[in-house]
Amino acid sequence: MPERAIDVLDKSKGKPVLIKLKNGEEIRGVLRAFDLHLNLWIEDAESQKDEKRIKLGSLLVRGDTVVYVSPVE
């Protein structure tokens, strides 16, 4: 049986993820927790947009701004 997307996300807790937002920004960081609305708690987060990198620390990303979340190897 193929894994559901929510199962893949659950296995990614404590690991680095890449988040693409609707405004074109990308955020990389360690996934700590999430809920069914895809609100994401990220630590050691870095934002990247237009070749600029900004360290953000810990943050909560609202699920309605997320295009996708991908585990990073």
* Structural domains for the chain: 5-71 (2.30.30.100)
> Which residues, other chains included, contact 3 with Cβ-Cβ below 8 Å and sequence gap of 6+?
none
> Which residues, other chains included, contact 72 with Cβ-Cβ below 8 Å and sequence gap of 6+?
15, 16, 17, 18, 28
Local confidence band at 4 (pLDDT 50, 70, 90 cut-offs): confident
Compute CA 22 distance to the chain's CA centroid, rounded to the nearest angstrom.
13
Closest alpha carbon to 38 in 3, 70, 16:
70
- Give tens-digit pLDDT for 11-62: 999 999 999 999 989 999 999 999 989 999 999 999 987 788 899 999 999 9
Predicted TM-score of the model (pTM): 0.87
